[in-house]
Structure formats: structure tokens, C-alpha cells
Amino acid sequence: MALIVQKYGGTSVGNTERIRNVAKRVAAYRADGDQVVVVVSAMSGVTDGLIRLAKEITPLPSEREMDVLLATGEQQTIALTAIALQTLNVPAVSLTGAQAGIVTDGVHTKAKIQNISPAEVHRLLDEGNVVIVAGFQGQSFSGQITTLGRGGSDLTAIALAAALKADLCQIYTDVDGVYTADPRLVPNARKLPEISYDEMLELAGSGAKVMQLRSVEFAKKFDVVFEVRSSLNDHPGTIVKEETSSMEDVVVRGVSLDKNQAKLTLFGVRDEPGRAARIFRGLADANINVDMIVQNVSHEGGIRQTDISFTVDKPDLLKARQVIDGLKPEIGFKESVADESIGKVSIVGVGMRSHSGVAAKMFDTLAQAGVNIEMISTSEIKVSVVIAADKGDLAMRALHHAFLE
Ligand code: ADP
Ligand code: ASP
Ligand code: MG
């Protein structure tokens, strides 16, 4: 008898017929004698719809109330999935994140899991139930409802698999696995049979939303091997696991595009020690993640000054502007300009460690495609560039063609 954690994303539970299909799949595993814990997302579009409603009232709603609101999406699907299983005569019990013992810190909308007390889940499993847990949500030490960031149901599943010491963790989604690029944008993309945690981390951090970044961090830290596969068929998916030596033979494993970033530039910052520290301390204190940073020194009237550009997630842009404008008297910059029409394309692969000329080939390919590069950043296994948003798809296809076809 195996203990299996299965996570079903928004499209996989997007209507009642799909929920019935999920129930059938779960029932089949259980009929084979396995214990099954199911983690579900909100039905597709529900979380976005709730965010839209709040923003109709105010552009910057209270983060505590957003968590109370968004947690309702997953609460609908756990009950519907339990009802669908019960209809198949499979005993099933739904649990909210709090009921499942998921304890988080108190950072609303981006909470981190602190610990999981799985006693109740074990008790219900031992009684013969399928346990359906609401993804994306938890409860803080002080009893507040929290959520784990967009795509956070992936994290719920992986953290539960670790806490329950599950034999298998399966992430069911609307594509057959992890591809060399988003198959919806790059028709020639190929499904990967396997990928290392580090490559999946870099892809997830660069816009490949097939897995939430923090869920992959968690999987790597606790060595949770998991499979990404389709809820719509029985094809084998992609295994995400620790790197093996043969993985280095491939220079570029995948290409990704992130359209969810915005760039903020502060013009005319005085070039003195401590200015950058003050800016990024202010953003960090507001829990805003900064991705790329570029600083250019210039001279005006004999005074050295700098322009500082950085990127943040689009939903954080308004908050970032508020922080920056609040610091204006202290930092003394001339003006701040936001640019939301940017895209970030990245190439990722552990083979980059042992191959040279990868960045040069990337820049050549982009030049030939007529794509201008605005910012560059690299890690040991990734090269990312910021470009104009409307060139994103073109750039991605050109890079996929150059490195992966
Ligand atoms: P779920 O609702 O199941 O969590 P998501 O929409 O969050 O699913 O993630 C699945 C989507 O991720 C796919 O439909 C696909 O368009 C997108 N995607 C982006 N990059 C990739 C990639 N490299 N491989 C597979 N899918 C990708
Ligand atoms: N419903 C949440 C979202 O749309 C969490 C998830 O789907 O994983 O981001
Ligand atoms: Mg997702």
C-alpha cells in the first residue's frame, strides 16, 4: 500500500465534469489499495475573478482581507471534490489548510509554511478516507487565514508529501509535463522525461508557471521527487529530481518567458554610499521581491549621479511605487518611471557550467531576430534578458530554435 499525494490545478477542476474525472482517477488509485491525499486549486478563473472584485473597490486592498477572500476559491473545490468521490461510494473528507495542520508565518498573500502537523490527515486516512486538502492556504500562529502566493497549491502538495513521507507526489495539470518551453507559445516544444531541481527552479523563477517557484525550493530542500503530468490523459509526465551526471550533457534544458514583471527606474539618484541600500531595504521591508537590478553612473553639471532600474512582479508595482515615492525626500532622486511593457526571456540548463559561448549565442540569436536587450542577468545555469513585451514570443521561439531544435 502506497501513500500518494496528488495535486490538481485550476483547469483540472475547472467544471463539475472535470471534478468527476478527478474523482474517478482518485477512486482508481484507491481501488488499487493506495491511500490518497488530494490537494486541489480553485476552479480556473476563480482566484482571478475574486482579485478583480476587490480591485473594483480599491486598487490596493488590505492583504489580510485578500487572504480571507482568496481562500474561499479552494474551499469550494475541496467540498465539490469530496462530494464527487462520495457519489462514487468512496469515503472522502475535505479539509481547509488550517484543518490539515498547515501553519504559516503571518505574511499575508505570500505566507511561508512554518510547519505541518499532519495528525488529522493521518487519522482520516487510517479510517479509510480519501483526504482532500485545500491548496494555497494555511493559518498563521495567531490564527489568521493566509495564502502562499499565486500557484501556491503546488507548494501545499509538495509540503504535504514531505510531512506525510508520501511514497509518490503527482502534480496533475493541463499539459503533459514540463516542456522545453511553454507549449502554448512554442509549437515545437518537447516534453522532458526528467529535469533537475535546479533547472526547474530557474525555469519557475523565470516565468514557466507550470510549477510555483517556492514549491520547487521546498522539494529540493526536503528531497521530494515529484512528477508533473496531465489530468486529461494517462501519458507519463516529467520527473523532477536531484541532478544526475548525464544531465550536464544538455547545454540548454529549457527557455522561458516572464510577462509578469515590471521595471521601475529612478533617475538622478545621488551617487553616494548607502543610497541603493536605503532603496532596497525599503522594498524588502514591504516584502517586495526585486529580481534584476541595473545601475548606470552619469554626470550632470559635474555632479556624479546614477540611474537605478530594477524589476518587480507586476502585482507589486503599485506598492513598490508607494515605497519609492515615500523615500523620495530621503534618497533625493529626480523622478521615477514605471514600465509595465517588458518581458524577460531566459535560457536554463546545468550544462552551461561546462560549456562556454552560451550567452554570446543567445545575444546573437536575439540580434538576428531584431530584439533589443534592455537588461541582462546571469546565474551559473541561466541567462536572462529583459526585452520589450511585444517581442517576447518572437524571442522565445528564436531561442528555442537556436538551442533546442
Ligand atoms: P495549474 O492550474 O494546473 O496549476 P498552471 O496554469 O499554473 O496549471 O500551469 C500550467 C501551464 O504552464 C501550462 O498550461 C503552460 O501553458 C504553462 N507553461 C509555461 N511554461 C511551461 C513549460 N516549460 N512546460 C509546461 N508548461 C508550461
Ligand atoms: N488558486 C491559486 C491561484 O490561482 C492557487 C493555485 O491555483 O495554485 O494562484
Ligand atoms: Mg499552477
Distance from C-alpha of 75 to C-alpha of 98, rounded to nearest angstrom: 11
Closest ligand 1 atom, residue 172 Cα:
3
The per-residue pLDDT for 158 is 98
Separation CA 312–CA 298 (nearest Å): 24
- Which grid coordinates belong to 204? 519557475
- Lowest-pLDDT choice from 107-121, 211-225, 284-298: 284-298
Q: Pick the closest to residue 185 from 401, 402, 398, 396 (CA basis).
A: 396
> Which residue lies with its CA nearest to atom 9 of ligand 2?
150
396, containing H or E segment? helix 392-404
Write down the pTM of the prediction: 0.94
Q: Exposed, middle or buried by CB within 10 Å (0-12, 13-18, 19+), for 209? A: middle
DSSP assignment of 61-127: --HHHHHHHHHHHHHHHHHHHHHHHHHTT--EEEE-TTTTTEEE-S-TTS--EEEE-THHHHHHHHT
Output the pLDDT for position 301. Answer: 73
pLDDT grade for 302, boundaries at 50, 70 and 90: confident
Check whether 245 has a pLDDT greater than 90. Answer: no
Cα(6) to ligand 3 centroid in Å equals 13
State which ligand 2 atom lies nearest to the alpha carbon of 149: 9
Residue 300 above 80 pLDDT?
Answer: no
Cα three-residue angle 142-145-150, rounded to 5 degrees? 130
Report the nearest-CA residue for atom 6 of ligand 2: 151
Q: How many CB atoms lie within 10 A of CB 265?
A: 17
Please report which ligand is nearest the Cα atom of 209.
1
Question: For residue 281, what pLDDT band results from cuts at 50, 70 and 90?
Answer: very high
175, 193, 189: which is closest to 229 by C-alpha?
175
Q: What is the model's pLDDT at position 290?
A: 95
Q: What value does the mean pLDDT of the chain take?
A: 96
Instruction: Inform me whether the pLDDT recorded for 39 exceeds 80.
Output: yes
Q: Does the Cβ of 41 fall within 6 Å of ligand 1? A: yes
Q: Which atom of ligand 2 is nearest to the CA of 152?
A: 8
Nearest ligand 1 atom, CA 9 = 3
Amino acid at 114: Q
> Over the Cα atoms of the chain, what is R_g?
23
Ligand 3 center–CA 210 separation, angstroms: 6
Query: For 131-139, what is the mean pLDDT?
Result: 98
What average pLDDT score do residues 391-395 get? 97
Q: Which amino acid is at 338?
A: A
Cβ atoms within 10 Å, residue 285: 9
Q: How many CB atoms lie within 10 A of CB 146?
A: 29
| Residue with CA at minimum distance from ligand 1 atom 25 | 178
Q: Distance between CA atoms of 402 and 366, rounded to whole angstroms?
A: 10
* pLDDT of amino acid 43: 98
Q: Look at residue 294 and tell me whether its pLDDT is greater than 80.
A: yes
pLDDT of 87 strictly over 90:
yes
CA distance 185 to 402: 16
Check residue 167 and give its pLDDT.
97
Is 216 in contact with 201 (CB distance < 8 Å)? yes
Who's near 73: CB < 8 A, 6+ residues apart?
A: 41, 42, 43, 46, 47, 50, 136
**Three-class SS of residue 34?**
coil
pLDDT computed for residue 299 by the predictor: 75
Output the pLDDT for position 298: 76
pLDDT band at 17 (very low <50, low <70, confident <90, very high): very high
Q: What is the pLDDT of residue 119?
A: 97
All domains in the chain, ordered by first residue: 3-174 (3.40.1160.10), 244-405 (3.30.2130.10)
Going from the Cα of 257 to the center of ligand 1, the distance in angstroms, rounded, reads 12
Quote the DSSP letter at residue 179: B
pLDDT band of 69, cuts 50, 70, 90:
very high
